[in-house]
Structure 1
Amino acid sequence: MTATVLGVERSATGRRWVARGGGNGAVERVGLAIAQRHGLPEIVGRLIAQRGVALEAVERFLDPTLKAELPDPSVLRDMDAAAARLADAVQAGRTVGLFADYDVDGATSAALMTRYLRAVGTETVVHIPDRIDEGYGPNLPALEGLAGRGAAVVACLDCGILALDTLGAAKAAGIEVLVIDHHLAGPDLPAAVAVVNPNRLDESGEFGHLAACGVTFLTLVALNRELRRRGWFEARREPDLRNLLDLVALGTVCDVVPLAGLNRAYVAQGIRVMATRGNPGLAALGDVARLDRRPDPYHLGFVLGPRINAGGRVGRADLGARLLSTEDPVEAATLAAELDRYNEERRAIEAQVLEAAIAQAEAQADAAALVVTGEGWHPGVVGIVASRLKDRFNRPACVVGFEDGIGTGSGRSVPGVQLGAAVIAARQAGLLVKGGGHAMAAGFTVEPGRLGAFRAFLCERVAADLEGQAATPTLSVDAALAPGGATGDLVRTVGRIGPFGTGNPEPRFVFPAVRVVGAGVVGENHVRCTLAGADGGRLKAIAFRALDGDLGGSLLRAGSTAMHVAGHLRADDFRGGDQVQLIVDDAAPANG
């Protein structure tokens, strides 16, 4: 078993602190070698080594570029067929239909297609399904509606891989469909002109970590190449696909896929594009969110993303795709303001459901996975609430809202549990009406009479996945610092190994044996304080949404007790200058 950091066996959040990478000498030696070979500060070399980056891969890790990471799109099965069919539509002046999922990944995929096809002179018609009335995935009336609006071919984006019946019926009705998806496939593929999905069972899996927007971008690369081969740009300006990377970055971060390889390049370069504010919709959304600095993955995932999602959760499903597709700054401002209002409504609904969900989850203390349900729970917030439960209880969590005798569920997972595969297996066992997903998230529909059997099935499956793992959840720590060492220079230096996200976690520092000074409540349920160290240094700190939990209580009650405090360092934008603050993740008494 990996040794604990500072002897913390059970923290305020119930976790055992361990060193990322195991804290062994081999990691230290690799980190030193990385620092020496690449002229990096030793701490940066150690952080890179802790993330498992090989010595020969460091240069690509530090400078992720599309030139180095982008594959030939034809490596994916059916890609050439998809590009050819879309090119046929462009050349013939035909309209392309887009059916996209209602989340950020779907909205960005639809906007990517719309903006590119507009640039090459092709009209699109778009349908984003209503979460409540239509549910997830393509449905025949919507596909028929797109065909009725003139679509010669319909691309299903971020959905469709499991829609065998619907797409079979669409084919019988004479509707040509392309599937561009990333969700886990089953043994049978839908009836479509092309099925582009790196998670097909007959794919290598090398690009299985891509979000749908990443697969869509590869499709546009293939389409652009095909149009160039056909001479389409001899009399027209060829679009610069790099200008679309802001959308790819947004969808990639918000779909919580690993930021490794191609995804890392997508996000690193996409953030640079986003900073130019070339997309009127993203610029307007940043304005309503009061985002007045260069965006980073945190802003994409927790500031911009929730507002785009709000339309699909509690408002009008098409608002996000429309916002990201428009070229009109006035329309963009109107749509962004509407999404911001829906986001406030979503927060209120989420708070009500979360309170009831936590009460149920606390009664499932011994379950390997949490499954909580409620009559009338809004299907637009069940995914967010599942994420909150997963974070709070460190277990896979599924939240189901029942309405008119049917349950709409969403789940979020923890490392080591393939939740999407578990949900697909439950569907194949006849326990779910429908369901699918990927490693860390899943969606499903369940009948009330099958709920108990599904819960038992899921818990058994999760317990098997987690067998052999430590019973106590862990918190990975990268390095120890004194408050005086938390400087703006350090934050900038650590930033060199970004972008951070799934697969490349933001470094977490622990501040040993500090005094918690001036702890108090700010906002609705945040706890702010100052950490005072033996070195005389002081560091501002804040624990978000911590007031009602043990973490907030431990900070507020610390008094003269020395505490170990762990978290992420950020530039303090509110105070400006070179100020730094700690975003607190956890704490524990220094005396054990």
Structure 2
Amino acid sequence: MVMTLDASSAERRVVLGVKKSLSARMWRERLDDQGLSQALAIAQRTDLPEVVGRVLAGRNVALEEASGFLNPSLKDLMPDPSKLVDMDKACARVADALQAGVKIAIFGDYDVDGATSSALLKRYLMQLGAEPDVYIPDRIIDGYGPNPTAINQLHAGGARLLVTVDCGSTSFEAFEEAKRIGLEVVVLDHHQVDESFPEVHALVNANRQDDLSGQGHLAAVGVTFLFLVGLNRELRRRGAFAQRAEPRLMDLLDLVALGTVCDVVPLKGLNRAYVVQGLKVMARRENIGLSCLADISRLSGKPTPYHLGYMLGPRINAGGRIGDSALGMKLLSSDDRAEGERIAATLERLNQERQAMEAVMLEEGEGQAFQKMEVTVPPAVLLTGADGWHPGVVGLIASRLKERYRRPAFAMAFNEKGLGTGSGRSIIGVDLGSAVRAAVEAG
């Protein structure tokens, strides 16, 4: 049976009286009767306009959660770090290393989440008198995650404990080498993983299949901050702050907010508290490197998530995409204004170069995608690529194509040997990561 709405029923489903938008579409009510009741209840409970209640109900925010959603606090939303699998082992091992004076190395990723995670951990350790080595891999030369060459380099530099951030959950070969040469490893990560893990001292990842903490929405920098809360607690228990000032963790929340927003994780639960509180810290401009980046980005006034995601983040990412991958980490962990201004200027230049590259590549990719979509049966997944494309920019191309054509998209950069380096972006409901892992397993 086919049911249709009469004119009066359709009229009642129009939202805000918009019968014809700029794209000639009617704004229709997305909430059912139960949702509308929920929206009204939220508006009345919070004493806010009904349109705010509608937005919250549309995001499946429960009535009892509405106040906390609108005014998130770390006090209310911070979980016990020990709820994450291996967290206590990780904290105890790093505490042992700090008290014994063992040299610690940090291995991070080359994106904003990796840069903020690395800088966050480095800043904390330096407050305790440690001088950690930090290795940020080159996107093209090293690829993603730890590798045996880097492991040996850090070990040769004196490191006896390695902490990886935003990577490491699948680094089997690298950590086999670490075990062979006697370098202990602690992993702090958030990426999806299978049932098997590399053999390390501790692997903290809320997306482990055996982790029931419910914190799988955190970015790596959020996991790293949780680790620091646990480590601080462990050091306090051991009396480490009897003769030394305790690090001020709250002052580091600007880095946590930046990494959380730029990694595009869901802004719910603890993530909302991270961002709200982190923006307040960022407004004080106490991080010298971040302040220099804000200046060159022409960011004035109080920072917002928009500034983080569209002004600061892309400039940090530019280093990892087409320049020196370690620039972002160095900037965010620097207390030298002259160095901060120099690095910020370099990132600004690299970002402009990246934008020019992206424009050329996107024009080519759009042409390829348009041809594929014009056939009788358009493909379920878009595959684009070309010789001469920069491997560090293909992720942006895939993202643009996914947004325009509303389907999973891959972009590939081919070198002179015909070898392609690609990146994929997916839509809601399609787990591209699982599909790629399954393809690898199938050969």
Secondary structure at the aligned position of 1:364 is classed as helix
Q: Which runs of structure 2 are paired with 1:167-182 in the superposition (5 Å)? A: 167-182=175-190
**Residues 242-279 of structure 1: CA deviation (Å, up to 9, x unaligned):** 11111111111111110000111111111111111011
- Which residue of 396, 400, 418 maps to 1:388? 400
Q: Which residue of 1 aligns with 2:195?
A: 187
Tell me the equivalent position of 1:317. Answer: 325
- In 2, are the aligned partners of 1:99 and 1:143 still within 8 Å (CA)? no
The residue that corresponds to 1:374 in the other structure is 386
Q: Is the Cα contact below 8 Å between 1:160 and 1:179 reproduced in 2? A: yes
Residues 299/10 of structure 1: CA separation in 2 closer, same or farther (3 Å cut): closer
Q: Distance in 1 between matches of 2:172 and 2:400?
A: 32
5 Å-filtered alignment, 1:58-207, equals 58-204=66-212, 206-207=214-215
Rate the CA distance shift 1:246–1:192 in 2: closer, same or farther, 3 A.
Answer: same
> Whole-Å Cα distance in 2 between the matches of residues 320 and 136 of structure 1?
16
Q: Which amino acid aligns with 2:441?
A: Q
Which TM-score applies when normalising by structure 1?
A: 0.70
Partners of 1:292 and 1:269 lie apart in 2 by 19
Asked if 1:269 corresponds to 2:272, the answer is no
Higher-helix-fraction structure: 2
Residue 418 of structure 1 corresponds to: 431
| Structure 1 residue 93, shift from structure 2 partner | 1.7
Q: 1:150 to 1:297 in 2, by over 3 A?
A: same
Q: Which runs of 5+ in 1 are unaligned?
A: 431-592
- The alignment status of 1:399 with 2:411, answered yes or no, reads yes
Q: For 1:27, which of 26, 31, 35 is the aligned residue?
A: 35
Instruction: Quote the Cα distance in structure 2 between the aligned partners of 1:77 and 1:385.
Output: 36
| Candidates 316, 323, 342, aligned match of 1:334 | 342
> In the alignment, does 2:216 pair up with 1:219?
no
Which string of whole-angstrom CA distances, capped at 9 and with x for unpartnered residues, describes residues 365-407 of structure 1? 2111211111221111011111111111111111111223322
> SS at the partner of 1:64?
coil
Q: Tell me, in whole angstroms, the C-alpha distance in 1 between the residues paired with 2:185 and 2:227.
A: 15
Shift in Å, 1:151: 1.3
Q: Which amino acid aligns with 1:308?
A: I
Residues 199 and 205, structure 1, Cα contact 8 Å, conserved in 2: no
Aligned to 1:363, the other structure's residue is in SS state helix
- Alpha-carbon distance, 1:45 to partner: 2.0
- Residues 219-259 of structure 1: per-residue CA shift (max 9 Å, x gap): 11111111111111000000111111111111111111100
Contact 2:147–2:173 (8 Å) recurs in 1: no
- What residue ranges of structure 2 are gaps of 5+ in the alignment? none
Structure 2 residue aligned with 1:485? none
CA distance in 2, matches of 1:140, 1:19: 56
- For residues 373 and 59 of structure 1, the distance between their equivalents in structure 2, rounded to whole angstroms, comes to 47
Q: Give the deviation of 1:173 after TM superposition.
A: 2.1
Opposite residue 374 of structure 1, the aligned amino acid is A
* Counterpart position of 2:61: 53
What code does the residue aligned with 2:442 have?
A: A
**Residue of structure 2 equivalent to 1:451:** none
Corresponding position of 1:429: 442
Counterparts of 1:55 and 1:302, CA distance in 2: 32
1:458-473 to structure 2, matched below 5 A, reads: none
Q: How far did residue 414 of structure 1 move?
A: 1.5
Using the alignment, how far apart are the partners of 1:405 and 1:117 within structure 2? 44
The two structures, once aligned, show a CA RMSD in angstroms of 1.9
Q: Which runs of 4+ in 1 moved over 3 A?
A: 1-12, 16-20
Q: Return closer, same or farther for 1:328/1:56 CA change in 2, 3 Å cut-off.
A: same
- The answer as to whether partners of 2:148 and 2:173 remain within 8 angstroms in 1 is no
Please give the secondary structure, in 2, of the residue aligned with 1:155: strand
Q: Is the 8 A contact 2:288 2:340 kept in 1?
A: yes
**Secondary structure class of the residue paired with 2:233:** helix
- How far off is 1:7 after superposition? 6.6
| Counterpart Cα distance in 1 of 2:46 and 2:260 | 29
Paired letter, 1:62: L
Corresponding residue SS for 1:154: strand
Q: How many residues align?
A: 426
Structure 2 CA distance, aligned partners of 1:367 and 1:19?
Answer: 30
Percent identity (aligned):
55
